[in-house]
Structure 1
Amino acid sequence: MDQVNFDRLRAMAQHIGQNAAPVPLANRYVEYWYGAAFEVLGVRCAVSLEEIRKIVDVTPTVPIPGVKRWVRGLANIGGRLLSIADFSSFLSGGEQTSNGKQAFIVSGRGIHTGLLIDANFGGVRFPKNELRTDVAVAQQLQPYVSGVYTAEDGDYAVFSIERLLNDTDFSQAGIAVNN
């Protein structure tokens, strides 16, 4: 490039820089919490995307002898046998069961299982700083909920898979047999 053309480009760049509108600054940076929304026991909930492996359609299950009644059975999910837990039945002490067709696959503490949910509403995001801890949730969910996000379509209880997996009632699904 010859000097004349280079000088023209430099002059144009200076002109643009002097006459351009300033770049608008964001008023504030918003950090978001990302989750998957679902329903259990008639309550809209959300679980962090970091706590679930995937959401799957549940195939027919094969019953497992010697387990609590909320364990639906084994299902072939992607070529792997997984136990499927009826989330509604577990939380309600067997009073309600789920008719859902999808499950969250979760892992932790040596447990790899599917949690059958009543309905799947897809992905959600909420500003992290808007998590509220002063909103009441259903009694069955209280031990597993860390707070509530409010959206235009209602409240979403933030469900903790870690708390669920740490619950011995859930992690010890086998029924003790007395000899």
Structure 2
Amino acid sequence: MARRTRSLREFQLSLGERLRTATTRAALSSRLGFQVGSDNWFVALHQVSEVIPVPNAVPVPLTQPWFRGVANVRGNLYSIVDFQAFQGREVVTAGMERRVILISERLLGGAGFVVSRMLGLRNPDQFTKLERPADAAPWVGGVYEAAGGTRWMELDLPELVRQPGFLEVGA
């Protein structure tokens, strides 16, 4: 009986360890899909803190047009950037599907960016990696194609938050 109990305990520990490893591996490989204008993007899930509806932002004078302002998110101030406008495209201020992706505190505390809509979790193993265009922005980590031929770009958040243009919001 003691031997059977020990076997069962070892099996449970082994199973628990395999589940933790699989969950961690899945979390590291998962990407969060979103749309900015007509472009499809995804970002590594561990680089994102959370996704929220677009909060009311207080405009800050003498800042870049893509800087939406500062918003209170559960008692913490966040700088909000319109990612579409940051890329030099027209600012879109309407739309029920728009969301703010808050950047992980490990990368940059108190910052988020507005996207057109969320597209859910994506598995990068289901995409074909394409050649990165020479004229791609530095924060484009890669370009991919889905099975249906849809083009996706990977957002390299660590590279984006290192960009002086992203950090310097003053006009």
Q: Tell whether the structures are fold-level matches, with TM greater than 0.5.
A: yes
1:1-179 matched pairs, under 5 angstroms: 33-92=29-88, 95-98=89-92, 99=94, 101-106=98-103, 107=105, 110-127=108-125, 132-134=129-131, 136=133, 142-153=137-148, 154-175=150-171
1:7 maps to which residue? none
Mapped partners of 1:71, 1:64: distance in 2: 8
Q: Structure 1 vs Structure 2: percent identity of aligned residues?
A: 23
Choose 1 or 2 for highest CA Rg: 1
Q: Do the aligned partners of 1:133 and 1:146 also contact (CA within 8 Å) in 2? A: no
Q: Do the aligned partners of 1:144 and 1:159 also contact (CA within 8 Å) in 2? A: yes
Q: CA RMSD in A?
A: 2.6
Distance 1:116 1:61, change over 3 A: same
**Larger fraction in helix:** 2
**Shift, 1:110, TM fit:** 4.8
SS at match of 2:58: coil
Mapped partners of 2:107, 2:167: distance in 1: 9
Mapped partners of 1:77, 1:123: distance in 2: 24
After TM superposition, the score normalised by the length of structure 2 is 0.71
SS at match of 1:105: strand
Distance 1:173 1:111, change over 3 A: farther
Name stretches of at least 5 consecutive residues in structure 2 with no aligned partner.
2-24
- Report how many residues are paired: 141
2:20 maps to which residue? none
Q: Do the aligned partners of 1:58 and 1:77 also contact (CA within 8 Å) in 2? A: no
After TM superposition, the score normalised by the length of structure 1 is 0.68
Question: What is the CA deviation profile of residues 136-178 of structure 1, one whole-angstrom value per residue up to 9, with x for unaligned ones?
Answer: 49x5x53211212332342221111111101101111123xxx
Name stretches of at least 5 consecutive residues in structure 1 with no aligned partner.
2-30
Mapped partners of 1:66, 1:96: distance in 2: 19
**Shift, 1:109, TM fit:** 5.6
Q: Do the aligned partners of 1:109 and 1:165 also contact (CA within 8 Å) in 2? A: yes
